[in-house]
Structure 1
Amino acid sequence: MWLKNITLLNFKNYADADVRFSKTVNAFVGLNGGGKTNLLDAIHYLCLCKGYFNPIDSQQIKTGEDIFLIQGDFDRQEKNEKITCGVKRNQKKQFKRNKKEYDKLADHIGLFPVVMISPYDVNIIMDGSEERRRFMDNVISQTDARYLDELMVYNRHLLNRNALLKQIAITRKYDPALLQIFDEQLVASGNRLFEKRQDFMKEFIPLFDQYYSFLTDDNELVSLIYASQLNDQPFDKLLSQSSEKDKALERTTTGIHKDDLIFSIADMPLKKFGSQGQQKSFLIALKLAQYAYLQKYKGFKPLLLLDDIFDKLDDRRMHKLMEMVSHHDFGQIFITDTGRERVLNVFNSIKVPVTLFEVNNGAVNHA
């Protein structure tokens, strides 16, 4: 799969743009603030119906305008696919595939798999468990549409149970039969998600280990562990044991919505003891493992978006990364960087052709 072109209208700092890409490596170079990352975000929109950095669609509209439009032509398994995303202020987002609008956006997820690596990803390490669950859910959802549906079902049951706990606290009336019904719904859905996450992590962790080992020449000992309360006890038993605590706190304190991924280096928390370079290598290995997992289950190569990827990577890791993604099982790649010469030097050194685009104040030109 590859993206042949993209057209932008009033998207972020772009009044209009029309860019045609090569099948292999495409690099956007220019000063910060010119719009390089916005191009990657537009590609992300076409693939996953939303921006990577900001979930609020209306905030992506160019200042002073009322609508943005993104359109792209993909070659997907030798078939042309035209994808269009339009957002008008105070109206529902329109998303079309070959001029036909989707009944629900979830139907698009996974058809055009994409992996983004960005400095923003440090949130996966530094922020709370929600960011790490979001990462895990994003990967699984691109390969299993039923997973996304189940996740929405679980969250709906969770909201219902939490609303009941709040109602109990306000009215002082406790209906054990109703709580039991909500518990059974939550357990049934939660167990299905837990099983899918377990299966995913069994395949994902060896992929991660492989990429981290390659990036660091096997010089650093790291670990990735899937932590879930359901690893220790059945979900129904957990809910039963936490019933009084849940009523006191007016929320559900156990379940797969508390799952986490534990990142360690030399048996110490990566968040506290990993250098910026080690954290960056960890994140890159996570994303490359995501790419490999998606490729295996989709049967074709996703897009790879590398935003400001050379930042905080030493020369050795940077060259190993570029050599890996350019020569191994990777398809179309999009890169942003401030240094034109740095990009050229890196790809010349590994003998890989790169198509350069100069980006300046919302204008894109072949370099």
Structure 2
Amino acid sequence: MILKRLELINFKIHSLLELDFTTGINYIVGDNGIGKTSILDSVYYLGLTRNPYNISDNKFVQFDKDFFWIKGFFLSDDNSPENIEVFYHINNGKRVNRNEKTYKNFSSHLGLIPILFICPADIYELVHIQENRRKFIDQILSQQNKNYLNALQQYQKFLLQRNHLLKQQSDYGKNFTNMLDAINSNLIPLNAKIYKYRAKLVDEINNLICNIFYSISDIDIPVSISYESNVNIENVNNLYNESIDNDLRLMHTTVGIHRDKFYFIFNGDDISLIASQGQQKLFIIALKLSMYQWLSSHYNEHAILLLDDIFDKLDEKRTDRLLEQLFQFNLSQIFITDTDKNRVVDNVNKVIKL
């Protein structure tokens, strides 16, 4: 998938902006505070219908305005045009159009334009917050596999029902046990299905991440992802039988794939405990590049890669190694923002100066 043209109205700092892009590397350079990251944010909206930071859409409306509008003109790998619009009004909410037809459900759009974003906030968000690691895994799998997305949505729906039932158990009297059993019977196969997808992804990423980490860091230390779940795939039917006492006492569901944990392992220990900030950044870059490579190889469209301020706090040697690694990928399109106008390299396909 290639983004050929981007048009913005009232999006963050940009009152009106129109940009044309090319295949390969699009290098966006300029001083801080002039809207480089906003361009990447808008591309992310076009791919995932939301912003990368899980904050309110109204934060992206230009000051003193009441709406923003984003339009992207894409070309798929088979040269089919795809025109995507995201319109948000502070009073009327958000609307997403594909080729002038409005989506009823935003989730129907996921996977059409696969996108992976690497930004400075990833270091803290992924290294230190377990829930964000799980959300990141879900985001990658949801873009690649509609079956996974549907299973996850169904799981979340039944989980809400189960938690509500546990909180209001006294209101249901004799019907409580039958209602709980009915919800459990829906949740059990969803737990097994989601677990298998996650475990398979982790196994495949672990086959990629070590080589990429070494290539960009020149640090010969083993790195990996460790997946921990209380879902025992061999005995999944007893999942809720074993937890029922705790669930009733705490009035919420204490087991299941929503409690899964992912650990980032650096030289045999959790990365948040032993790695320096520089090593953490290199690990997250390697992780996301591994996910990019996996996403592109498991999907019929090449993903678009967004790199925001990726070279900040990297020394010249590792900057060169990272660029070399990017050139080795079979990239369809990549966007890089940078403040250093002198770092533009010969291999860049287009330079955009703001």
TM-score by length of 1: 0.91
Structure-1 residue corresponding to 2:51: 51
Q: How far apart are residue 164 of structure 1 and its match? A: 1.0
Give CA deviations for 1:178-228 in whole Å, capped at 9, x if unaligned. 222222121122111112212222222212223123223351222211111
Aligned residue for 2:258, secondary structure, equals: helix
One-letter code aligned to 2:215 = F
Aligned mates of 2:232, 2:121 — CA distance in 1: 30
Higher deviation after alignment, 311-320 or 12-21: 311-320
TM-score by length of 2: 0.94
Structure-2 residue corresponding to 1:356: 351
Give CA deviations for 1:10-51 in whole Å, capped at 9, x if unaligned. 011111100111222212222222111111000111111111
Structure-1 residue corresponding to 2:267: 266
Q: Any conservation in 2 of the 1:201–1:226 contact (CA below 8 Å)? A: yes
Segments of 4+ moved more than 6 angstroms: 169-174
Structure-2 residue corresponding to 1:66: 66
After superposition, residues 167-186 of structure 1 pair within 5 angstroms as 167-168=168-169, 175-186=176-187
Aligned residue for 1:312, secondary structure, equals: coil
Aligned residue for 2:298, secondary structure, equals: helix
Q: How far apart are residue 152 of structure 1 and its match? A: 0.9
One-letter code aligned to 2:116 = V
Distance 1:169 1:123, change over 3 A: farther
Give CA deviations for 1:260-288 in whole Å, capped at 9, x if unaligned. 11112121220121111111111111111
After superposition, residues 281-300 of structure 1 pair within 5 angstroms as 281-300=282-301
RMSD: 1.9
Q: How far apart are residue 295 of structure 1 and its match? A: 0.9
One-letter code aligned to 2:92 = Q
Q: Any conservation in 2 of the 1:5–1:19 contact (CA below 8 Å)? A: yes
Aligned mates of 2:316, 2:213 — CA distance in 1: 16
Aligned mates of 1:243, 1:117 — CA distance in 2: 41
One-letter code aligned to 1:29 = V
Aligned mates of 1:332, 1:249 — CA distance in 2: 49
Structure-2 residue corresponding to 1:242: 243
Aligned mates of 1:158, 1:44 — CA distance in 2: 29
Structure-2 residue corresponding to 1:362: none
Aligned mates of 2:141, 2:233 — CA distance in 1: 23
Q: Any conservation in 1 of the 2:128–2:272 contact (CA below 8 Å)? A: no
One-letter code aligned to 2:152 = L
Unaligned runs of 5+ in 1: 360-367
Higher deviation after alignment, 144-153 or 173-182: 173-182
Q: Any conservation in 2 of the 1:143–1:297 contact (CA below 8 Å)? A: yes
Is the aligned partner of 1:22 residue 2:22? yes
Aligned residue for 1:226, secondary structure, equals: strand
